[in-house]
Amino acid sequence: MEIITDGGVISLYPNPVYNNSSITVVYDGTEDEFITIQVYDLLYKIIQWKTFETKSGTNTLIIQPGFDTSGYYIIRVQGKKKIQSFKVLIE
């Protein structure tokens, strides 16, 4: 499993997120696979967990996390061979 820590094949925007809007995750896969997107608060309490079916190539996924309070959250994207975590500011 390749752990991506900066840049790479996964991107997320916007950051910061305003007015509890949706978050876009762009995932470049090398094969068809299922990926999970997990949203945690800074105490690692899970806020949301979603699974998406992706195809080989660029995939654009939209999540609507429904944050209760503003602050920082961790969004973790995990595929079969890739993992990346993002620190996101919700305002």
| pTM for the whole structure | 0.84
Lowest-confidence pick of 2-6, 50-54, 67-71, 77-81: 2-6
Beta-bridge partner residues of 1: none
Q: Where are the alpha helices (DSSP H) in the chain?
A: none
Is 2 a residue whose pLDDT tops 80? no
Q: Degrees (nearest 5) of the Cα angle 47, 6, 79?
A: 55
Domains of the chain: 2-90 (2.60.40.2550)
Q: Which is more confidently placed, 3 or 56?
A: 56
Which pLDDT band, with edges at 50, 70 and 90, does 9 fall under? low
Residue with tokens 């990346």: 84
* Residue 77 in tokens: 């994207």
